[in-house]
Structure 1
Amino acid sequence: MKVLILVVDDEPDVTELFRQQFRRDLRAGRYEIAFAHSAAEALGRVQTTNGPNLLLMFSDINMPGMTGLELLPLVRSARPEVPVIMITAYGDAETRRQAEAAGAVGLITKPIDFALLKAEIERRLAARVETA
């Protein structure tokens, strides 16, 4: 079964950065990565992705229009089974508290530690295999 990881960030270079960091896994077809460049686009994607194939969502917090923190409860309402990890340049205790209170399962600070991200994805993939 194909699984999907959704990355939400308004900065276009983030798309290339993720594609570059995950190129081997993407080529091997282990999972797919989709990109949304706004919270509204991400919400639409979450609401229209059928089935259990949405494995994980990474979302930037600071975006124009709807922020990642405003998006988070909407995603949790639409797809409560999908874990959301927030990404921010500001990893202070208050930001972490707000993200967790809104339903995030984690908070990663920029610059992104891709080894940490890959480990989280691997953990989620392994858990999915165990429950399948």
Structure 2
Amino acid sequence: MPTPINILVVDDELPIRALFLQRFRHEISRAEIQFTFAQSGEEALDQLADSEVILILSDINMPGMSGLELLRRIRTKYPHKPPAIFMLTAYSDAKNKEQVRLYGADDFLTKPIDFNLLRQKIVELHRS
């Protein structure tokens, strides 16, 4: 059996967990994808130290450490992949996109999340 794709979702909104678990229920039941969740940048950094995460999906706007600061810290510690990092935000303005690119994110997705597109990007990432 292949190893599941280990994905860390970082978002301070509690309903996001249920949404991901529901939208990827088939992949989870077939052990293709495994999700871990963090509600803050600080919690995400703690979890990264003890896991084999290959993809991080992080919100940009969070209290405390922002997703951009999390991205900067991860890319300082892990300059080469894994992990790949996709930033999620409800704001698709040019400033956010430019910062995300400069800080080394692999992709930028807007909320509400297009789960079919995300699923496709996860498959592409796993193949590369």
What is the TM-score normalised by the length of structure 1? 0.89
Aligned counterpart, 2:105? 104
Find the counterpart in structure 1 of residue 72 from structure 2: 73
Counterpart in the other structure of 2:4: 2
Number of equivalences? 124
Q: CA deviation at 1:2?
A: 3.4
Q: Could you tell me how far apart the structure 2 residues matched to 1:43 and 1:71 are?
A: 8
* Structure 1 CA distance for aligned equivalents of residues 78 and 15 of structure 2: 27
Letter of the 1:56 partner, please give it.
L
Paired-residue identity, % = 42
- Residue 23 of structure 1 aligns to which amino acid in structure 2? R
Q: What is the rounded CA distance, in whole Å, between the counterparts of 2:74 and 2:117 in structure 1?
A: 23
C-alpha distance in structure 2 between counterparts of 1:7 and 1:46, whole Å: 11
| Alpha-carbon contact 1:46-1:75 (below 8 Å) kept | no
Secondary structure in 1 matching 2:19: helix
Q: Which residue of the partner structure matches residue 130 of structure 1?
A: none
Q: Which runs of 5+ in 1 are unaligned?
A: 128-132
Output the amino acid matched with 2:111. Answer: K
Whole-angstrom distance in 2 between the partners of 1:3 and 1:115:
17
Specify the code of the residue in structure 2 equivalent to 1:48. D
In the TM superposition, structure 1's runs of 4+ consecutive aligned residues that sit over 2 Å from their partners are 77-80
TM-score normalised by L of structure 2: 0.92
Aligned counterparts of 2:66 and 2:108: Cα–Cα separation in 1:
15
Whole-angstrom distance in 2 between the partners of 1:37 and 1:108: 18
Instruction: Report which of the two has the higher share of helix.
Output: 1
Higher deviation after alignment, 117-126 or 20-29: 117-126
